[in-house]
Structure 1
Amino acid sequence: MPKVQANGIELFYDEHGDPSAPPLLLVMGLGMQLLGWDERFVRLLAGRGFRVIRFDNRDTGLSTHLDGVRSHLKEVMDGDPSQAPYRLSDMARDAVGLMDALGIDSAHVVGASMGGMIVQTLAIEHPRRVRSLCSIMSTTGARNVGGATREAMAILMAPPGTDRESVLARAVVTHSVIGSKAYPVGEEVVRARAAAAFDRAFYPEGFARQLAAIRAGPDRTPALRTVSVPTLVIHGEDDTLVLPSGGDATAAAVPGAMLLRLPGMAHDFPEPLWPRIVDAIAENAVGAERARAQSAGAEKKL
């Protein structure tokens, strides 16, 4: 099984594409396994000339579970971030550890939702490890942007399912609230995705610890102004879990960032939008590769 030791924990990952191609690291969101990046979507990216790597964050999937560690979520939400068992910075260091284990000096990084927060933190705290940045359906950590609607927050905080059927039923309800209504999928598709995740690794305990890490995070706006790599921000205009103001604020904070707002997209990845999303990610990364090559050529002449 493809696992590596990284930052004191074990991370499960997989790869697609040419191993010698520029690496592109995908970071998924809250409570989501690497399955959140549909394999067909991943193969589209690989087909654009990248070595695409996706992995399970700590406390999800087949990566290390911090069994028995209290989330202290109530204390964190009440204003004491010191109680969080780990931070987004730790999760960014997990990604760096994965890159180290795979012999990757730097990569194009793409994160969705909480994953967007992680890759933002990665670009801020480990700038030499990032070739380009793409933050999708995410936010800056500022409390006045990117908040959820009341209905979306209620579904986020609802108790998790306890068995396979209740997990699948909850997935259907969740998708009805945060999924893209302009790009509907059948209930059987939602249930099949939830079933695949449940059968692979059911571990709801990690959700609260990850949420505590999010809530303990600072407003990254000032630090995002220091990010100098080519940056793309993608956000759905119908997102109810992270309102579009979060994407707007992220793009405004990073100098020269490009903002792609997608009508009809909510807090998911509608398949009809995959070509446009893949094109945007690839264009941002290819531009970064071109600039990197030019910089290396200039240094060589000197």
Structure 2
Amino acid sequence: MSVQFACNGDIEIAYETFGSAPGRPLLLLHGAGAPMLGWPEAFCAALVERGFHVARCDNRDAGRSSRATRPYTVADMATDGSSVLDALHWPAAHIVGMSLGGMIGQVMSARHPDRVLSLTSMCSAPDASMWRTKISVLLRFLALNCRKPSGPDAAGERMVKLHQLVGSTGYPQDEDWIRRIGREAHAHRTDFAAARRQAAAARASGNRRAELSTITAPTLVLSGDADPLQPPRAGKATADAIPGARFVSYPGMGHDLPPALWPAIIDDIDDIATTRTGR
């Protein structure tokens, strides 16, 4: 497994793959500022065991992907996702997106329906106005992100604190893994300017409900009832906007991917993928 790059104009999107053909193609899209490392290798391996050929990628302005030189939109980021499918020679794929990645997956499904076999939107919303956070959480979140970590170890500790703030309350967190990912991601971290560009892209996408009503791919919307950033009402609004979408809310889940829930989440992803493929 090695990092490869797909091109969308002057933007390079870093990606990695797990498994191989003839596995069902599945693309993982993560949230604002999060690198593809945020999709744990063990989670990807579990999807491979279910028969998927998995790709995870860094969004533009995150991880090893290009830093943008001008403003962009979620629609541009959706085209980035299609460029990864092109690089892999996948005519279409099952799309799983978390947070901002869920928004990207929603737009891919609406604007590039021939490229999306099924959609799983996690911890996301149908418009940026639903990103309402308690002021105390927001202030602590900003305080953790406003300063550049002094080095990899400091980045690891900051990542642990972020997960303690927005992560699941009903399940144990793997702090050793979180700390390691923070350290590994430090060299390619998203700086404040890049984070602002991603946030601006989310805001500029506006209310997508009318667009979401055109989605025809089988859709699963997952939420955590302990998510302080995207509460279940945001997920329910997403599901209500997409014809036939299934909505699932997990008790105790926050704005993360707790290992204890992987079997249930992978079951749900597999079920919605099977709806389209029949296998």
**Same fold by TM (over 0.5)?**
yes
- Aligned twin of 2:134: 149
1:175 positional shift: 1.7
Identity of aligned residues (%): 38
- Kindly provide the amino acid, as one letter, of the partner of residue 150 in structure 2: D
Give a deviation string over 1:32-52, Cα, whole Å, max 9, x none: 110010010011111111111
Query: Gaps (5+ residues) in structure 1?
Result: 71-84, 294-302
1:188 positional shift: 4.0
Determine the C-alpha separation between the residues in 2 that align with 1:232 and 1:187: 28
Q: Secondary structure at the match of 2:256?
A: coil
Determine the C-alpha separation between the residues in 2 that align with 1:92 and 1:154: 30
Question: Is 1:122 the equivalent of 2:124?
Answer: no
How many residues of Structure 1 are paired with residues of Structure 2 in the alignment? 273
Normalised by the size of structure 1, how large is the TM-score?
A: 0.85
Q: Secondary structure at the match of 2:260?
A: helix
- Aligned twin of 1:202: 189
Q: Secondary structure at the match of 2:12?
A: strand
- Aligned twin of 2:30: 28
- Aligned twin of 2:121: 135
Question: Is 1:107 the equivalent of 2:107?
Answer: no
- Kindly provide the amino acid, as one letter, of the partner of residue 276 in structure 1: A
Question: Is 1:284 the equivalent of 2:272?
Answer: yes
Determine the C-alpha separation between the residues in 2 that align with 1:17 and 1:186: 24
- Aligned twin of 2:61: 59
Determine the C-alpha separation between the residues in 2 that align with 1:87 and 1:54: 20
Q: Secondary structure at the match of 1:95?
A: helix
Higher Cα Rg: structure 1 or 2?
A: 1
CA contact (8 A) 1:148 1:243 kept: no
Normalised by the size of structure 2, how large is the TM-score?
A: 0.92
- Kindly provide the amino acid, as one letter, of the partner of residue 127 in structure 2: G
Specify which of 87, 95, 98 is matched with residue 81 of structure 2.
95
Question: Is 1:37 the equivalent of 2:23?
Answer: no
Determine the C-alpha separation between the residues in 2 that align with 1:186 and 1:61: 21
Query: Gaps (5+ residues) in structure 2?
Result: none
Give a deviation string over 1:2-45, Cα, whole Å, max 9, x none: 12223431111111112222211110100011001001001111
Which deviates the most, 266-275 or 161-170?
Answer: 161-170
CA contact (8 A) 2:103 2:124 kept: yes
1:156 positional shift: 3.8
1:154 positional shift: 2.2
Determine the C-alpha separation between the residues in 1 that align with 2:178 and 2:5: 28
